[in-house]
Amino acid sequence: MEFESSQSIFSQIAESLSEKILKQQYEVGEKIPSVRELAAEVGVNPVTIMRTFNELQSKGIIENKRGIGYFVTEKAIDLIRNEKKAVFFEKVLPDFIHQSELLGISKEELKSHLNL
Amino acid sequence: MEFESSQSIFSQIAESLSEKILKQQYEVGEKIPSVRELAAEVGVNPVTIMRTFNELQSKGIIENKRGIGYFVTEKAIDLIRNEKKAVFFEKVLPDFIHQSELLGISKEELKSHLNL
Amino acid sequence: MEFESSQSIFSQIAESLSEKILKQQYEVGEKIPSVRELAAEVGVNPVTIMRTFNELQSKGIIENKRGIGYFVTEKAIDLIRNEKKAVFFEKVLPDFIHQSELLGISKEELKSHLNL
Amino acid sequence: MEFESSQSIFSQIAESLSEKILKQQYEVGEKIPSVRELAAEVGVNPVTIMRTFNELQSKGIIENKRGIGYFVTEKAIDLIRNEKKAVFFEKVLPDFIHQSELLGISKEELKSHLNL
DNA sequence: GTGGTCTAGACCACC
DNA sequence: GTGGTCTAGACCACA
């Protein structure tokens, strides 16, 4: 797995897992890969994965079953979708509008880029 | 001035100055406020402002006249516009599309939000 | 049976069994359920139950009769009561006092909560 | 500083800081010691302190000012008091009652221990 | 000076 | 096998 330097590795992994859960590549109640597995798979230190899991757990997206592993919670999809929506409407969309106005991009140009 | 914790202060100030230049609130050839003035105005350490000015100077957006101050260069607007365009088409726009698809936002909804 | 994630499962089960013995729901000399039965009943791995039994046996609360099962010892109730008292006076009570002082809970309020 | 082995060091430090804030030994808006200072003072690795600060920050008890340090937030005391109250009334108090009933501790004995 | 991240390696409790 | 914690040491960006 490749990482952007602008963001911490552990939160990029968290983002990646969140998207997979949202796309139901990991289903509700399903066990996600173990710390060591994921660490080996993406080529980072296990504690980096732990930080990822801690973050997701504190958000309520995954939960731990002692000695077994981490599982996708029932409310995971709602949580992820809600957070993403908030970010989208409060940050991504306004920023998009702001930038396109600042650059004077015409509505026709926007439409073509967005296939609208 | 308030800052987001997610980005460095000096780049937030640089962004703010760039936008003002782009909107011609500072015109070409005009002197921008001194380090100390700006520092007092936005409430940060003068060295942070220095770093901002160095950044803008290295990009060719402002230039220093020894003992007098910093001035907006002739090519400033082009430079800013080009950089903003690059960021917009390589990052803001793709991210916008990706997020809106991930959230399943319909084309109609997008159109209404964007006044298209 | 549901478990708190903050404590190990085997000690939660041990605690539950101890309380039942103390309340004489299991009487002295009585056979307690087998490893497999209990495992099925509370929904955990049999080895976890084994560990619980080992723990209780090492304290002298239950004893094994080879091939037959585990039985409540004669001194079980004393052992449990003594350990609980120690914990109560060395940990639960001091903590209770500390927290109630820290939160500034009045003596009247305490009395009413405790029916004193 | 000495630690109990039953709880993680970083959360014991968090608890200690919370109590100090609650007792206003650190006041609202005040800077708390830096990561390295605290690490040296209590004799642990700086990353352990970082985990402590992350936890407190995620709860909204402290906030970071870039390059300067961590500061006690305005709502810190409310947050701490509310959380402590919740724990007290939902866990400490019920557990206290449960244990004292289980051990058959008389009301008179309780009163004397609690100075009621 | 401040915090933030990552690695490597060790050790532990638990299932 | 699972997660959880801690240390030591390095490196980085930021103010």
Residues of chain D found within 8 Å of residue C108, distances taken between Cβ atoms: none
**Residue D116: pLDDT over 90:** no
CA distance C20 to chain D (A): 11
Residue A9, CB, strand E, below 7 Å: yes
B102: tokens are 């991930």
Cα B75 from Cα A34, distance rounded (Å): 54
Residue of A nearest to C8 (CA): A66
pLDDT band per the 50, 70, 90 thresholds, residue C2: confident
- pLDDT of res. B6: 85
Cα C73 from Cα C79, distance rounded (Å): 10
- C26-61 per-position pLDDT tens digit: 999 999 999 999 999 999 999 999 999 999 999 999
Residue D35, CB, strand E, below 7 Å: yes
> What stretches in chain A show pLDDT beneath 70?
none
Contact call for residues A5 and A42 (beta carbons, < 8 A): no
Q: List residues of chain A with CB under 8 Å from any CB of chain C.
A: 63-64, 66-67
Nearest to C9 among A63, A64, A66 (CB): A66
Q: What are chain D's domains?
A: 9-75 (1.10.10.10), 77-114 (no CATH)
Residues of chain D found within 8 Å of residue B3, distances taken between Cβ atoms: 66
Estimate to the nearest angstrom the gap between the alpha carbon of B95 and the chain centroid. Answer: 19
E strand or H helix that includes residue C55: helix C46-58
Residues of chain B found within 8 Å of residue D64, distances taken between Cβ atoms: 5
* CA of residue C106 to C1' of nucleotide E4, angstroms: 44
Which bases along strand F come within 7 Å of a protein CB atom? Answer: 1-10, 13-15
Cα A111 from Cα A97, distance rounded (Å): 13
Residue of B nearest to A105 (CA): B85
- pLDDT of res. D113: 92
CA distance C77 to chain D (A): 11
* CA of residue D33 to C1' of nucleotide E5, angstroms: 21
- B29-58 per-position pLDDT tens digit: 999 999 999 999 999 999 999 999 999 999
With CA of B44 and C1' of each nucleotide, the nearest comes out as: F15
D80 SS3 class: helix
- pLDDT of res. D2: 83
Residue of C nearest to D113 (CA): C93
Instruction: Report the percent of chain C where pLDDT is more than 90.
Output: 91
Task: Name the closest residue (CA) to the C1' of nucleotide E8.
Answer: A45
Cα C52 from Cα C14, distance rounded (Å): 6
Task: Name the closest residue (CA) to the C1' of nucleotide F15.
Answer: D67
DSSP code per residue over A52-109: HHHHHHHTTSEEEETTTEEEE-TTHHHHHHHHHHHHIIIIIHHHHHHHHHHTT--HHH
- pLDDT of res. B2: 83
- Is D touching B (3+ C-beta pairs, cut-off 8 A)? yes
**Residue C5: pLDDT over 90:** no
Task: Name the closest residue (CA) to the C1' of nucleotide F2.
Answer: A67
**Residue C101: pLDDT over 90:** yes
CA distance C81 to chain D (A): 7
Residues of chain C found within 8 Å of residue A63, distances taken between Cβ atoms: 5
With CA of A67 and C1' of each nucleotide, the nearest comes out as: F2
Please report the sign of the dihedral spanned by the C-alpha atoms of residue A83, residue A89, residue A90, residue A93: positive
Cα D87 from Cα D19, distance rounded (Å): 14
Residue B47, CB, strand F, below 7 Å: yes
Based on the number of CB atoms within 10 Å of its own CB, is C68 exposed (0-12), middle (13-18) or buried (19 or more)?
Answer: exposed
Residue A65, CB, strand F, below 7 Å: no
Segment D74-79 shows an average pLDDT of: 97
- pLDDT of res. B48: 95
Chain A and chain C share a number of CB contacts under 8 A equal to 7
- B63-73 per-position pLDDT tens digit: 999 889 999 99
Based on the number of CB atoms within 10 Å of its own CB, is B18 exposed (0-12), middle (13-18) or buried (19 or more)?
Answer: buried
Residue D70, CB, strand E, below 7 Å: yes
**Residue D6: pLDDT over 90:** no
> Closest Cα partner for B16 from B53, B70, B47?
B53
